[in-house]
Structure 1
Amino acid sequence: MSKIFITGSSDGIGLQTAKELIKLGHEVVLHARNEKKVIELKSYLKNTNKILVGDLTSIYETKQLANEINSLGIFDTIIHNAGVFKNDKSEIFKVNVLAPYILTACVKKPKKIIYIGSNMHPQGVVDLDNLSIENGVDYSTSKLLLSIFSLALSKKWKNVLVNTVDPGWVKTKMANYEAPDSLEDGSNTQVWLTSHKSFKDTGKYFHHLKEIRYCDIVYDEEIQKSLIEKIEKITNIYI
C-alpha cells in the first residue's frame, strides 16, 4: 500500500484518480480549495480519507498547505492534479505553475511525482523576460512551463521518479462535458504510474498508458535552467 497526496482532488480527474487508488487499497490524502469543497467531497466518499484545504491561487495558502503535507510524513507519490483553464492569466500562472513548484520545493521529497500536462502545451510561448504574477500566462503556456519544469526536475532530483501525464480531453467542468474521453481515461495513467512499484522510468511524458513526446522546446536544457531560476526569483523559494 502506498501513501499518496493529490492536489485538486475534490472533483473531476483528481477525484476519479483518488477513488481508483482507494479501491486498490492505497492510503490517499485529498485536497480541496475550501471548506465548501470539503463538504461536497465528503458526500462522494464513504470512508475517512484525510482532506487538506488550501487555495492555490494564494501563495501564502500554498505554503501553508506544504506545511500540512509535511506534518503527515513522507509520501510515496504526489500527484499535482489541480489546474484552472478559463480563469484570468494571473490565477492560471499561480495554480498551474507556481503552486506545483512551491509544493515540490517545500514538501519532503516523495518517491514519485506526477504532474498533469496537456496536449495544448505546444501552443504555449516561453517568454521568461516578461514572466510574472502580474502578467500571468495562458493555459497552453502554463502547461508548457510545467512540462519544462518537470523534465528539468527529473534530471535534478535523481532519487525521485518525475513524470508528466496528458490525461486527454476529458468530460469535466474544466474542459467540456462533450469531450470524448471519460474520467476513467483521464485517470488511468496516474493510477498505473502510482501503483506499479516496478516502474522506474523518469523524465517521461505519457498519454493513455503510452509514452509520447513533448514538443521540442521542452528538451532545451538552457530554457529548463532559466525557467527554474526565474521561478526561484518570483517565489523566493529555491529548489
Structure 2
Amino acid sequence: MNPTQNRRALITGANRGIGFAIAQGLIAKGYEVIITSRSLAKAQQSAQKLQSKVIPIELDVSDERSINQALETLRLQIDRLDVLINNAGVYPDEGVNILTISRELLDLTINANTFGPIRMVQAFLPLLEKSPDARVINLSSGYGAIEDLSADVPSYCLSKLALNGATIMLAQALQAKNIVINAVCPGWVRTDMGGASAPRSPEQGADTAIWLATEAPRNISGKFLRDRKIISF
C-alpha cells in the first residue's frame, strides 16, 4: 500500500506562491490537501487549478474567529490531520525601519506571522493528535536568523525571529504528543512577496517543506532548515 495514501495536509495561504507550490508537491505524492486563503473565492480558484484531492477553505490566521470557523468547517469533513504547514504571512515593511515603524504595523505583522501559526497549532492539535505521524512546518525566513536581522525590515524580521523561537518552544511541548515541528527558510523566492528578481522558483522554495512533511526523519524537531539542512537560528 502507498504509505502516503489517505494522508492529509493543511497549508495556510496556499492560493499562490510557495504555498501553492507546496500543495502541488504534496498532491503529486498522493496527499489530500486543504488549501486556505483569506478569500474563499481565491482558495476555490486555486483548488480548481490543482484539480484533485483538494479542499478549499477560507481562513485568516490573524483572526481568531476565522481560525475557529475553519476548524468547525473542517471537522465536518475530516477526522484527523497529518501535516500542518503554516505558510501564510505578510511583509509590510515598505518605507520604514526600526526607528520609524509604528506599533500598529508591528502588531499587524507579528499577529499574522507569529501568533497565527501558534494559534493554528493550538486549534488543530486535536486533529493532529489523531495522526500516527503528525508533522508541523512553519515557513520562516533567513531574516528571522539572529545573524541576518535587518533594521530596514523591522516587523518582518522580528516576526520571523519570534516564529523561530515559538518553533523551539512548540517542539518541547509537542514532544510528549509525538508531533514533530520545524521552521524552514525557503530562500529568496519569486513570489508576490519576493519579487520578480528573486533567484529561486516557488518549487525550489517549497522543496524543504515538502521533504519535512513527507520523508524527513522524525528525530528532526525544533530545528531551522534550509535546503534540507539544519541551520542556525
TM-score (normalizing by structure 2): 0.80
Task: Report the equivalent of 2:67.
Answer: 62
In 1, Cα distance between equivalents of 2:166 and 2:127? 16
Q: Distance in 2 between matches of 1:30 and 1:3?
A: 11
Flag structure 1 segments of 5+ consecutive residues without an equivalent: 126-136, 215-239
CA distance in 2, matches of 1:48, 1:204: 30
User: What are the within-5 Å matches in structure 2 for residues 98-117 of structure 1?
Assistant: 98-107=115-124, 108=126, 110=128, 111-117=134-140
Report % sequence identity. 27
Query: Within 2, Cα distance between the matches of 1:48 and 1:162?
Result: 24
One-letter identity of the residue aligned with 2:11: I
Q: Is the 8 A contact 1:63 1:102 kept in 2?
A: no
The CA deviation at 1:70 is 4.2
SS at match of 2:193: coil
Written as runs of structure 1 = structure 2, the 5 A alignment for 1:30-49 is 30-49=35-54
Equivalent residue, structure 2, for 1:154: 171
1:161-176 alignment, distance < 5 Å: 161-176=180-195
Instruction: Give the Cα–Cα distance (whole angstroms) in 1 for the partners of residues 123 and 192 of structure 2.
Output: 30
Deviates more, 1:109-118 or 1:87-96: 87-96
Superposition deviation, residue 58 in structure 1: 2.1
Instruction: Indicate yes or no: 2:64 matched with 1:77.
Output: no
SS class of match (1:179): coil
1:28 maps to what in 2?
Answer: 33
Shift of 1:95: 1.3
Name stretches of at least 5 consecutive residues in structure 2 with no aligned partner: 94-104, 129-133
Distance in 2, Cα, partners of 1:45 & 1:144: 32
| CA apart distance, 1:40 | 2.8
| CA–CA separation in structure 1 for the residues paired with 2:65 and 2:43 | 20
Structure 2 CA distance for partners of 1:112 and 1:19, relative to 1, 3 Å: same
Q: Is the 8 A contact 1:124 1:142 kept in 2?
A: no
Partner residue of 2:109 out of 89, 92, 108: 92
Letter of the 1:116 counterpart? L
Superposed CA RMSD:
2.0
How many Å apart are 1:67 and its aligned residue?
A: 3.1
- Cα offset for 1:160? 1.0
Q: CA deviation at 1:141?
A: 0.3
Q: Match of 1:8, SS?
A: coil
1:193-208 matched pairs, under 5 angstroms: 193-196=212-215, 198-208=217-227
Query: Would you say the 8 A contact 2:40–2:57 is kept in 1?
Result: no
Output one character per residue of 1:102-159: Cα deviation in whole Å (capped at 9) or x when no partner. 111121252111101110013279xxxxxxxxxxx70100001110000011112112
Q: 1:155 and 1:124, CA in 2 relative to 1: closer, same or farther beyond 3 A?
A: farther
> 2:211: which partner in 1?
192
Deviations 1:154-190 (A, max 9, x none): 1121121111100001000011111011111100001
Aligned length: 203
Q: TM-score, normalised by structure 1?
A: 0.78
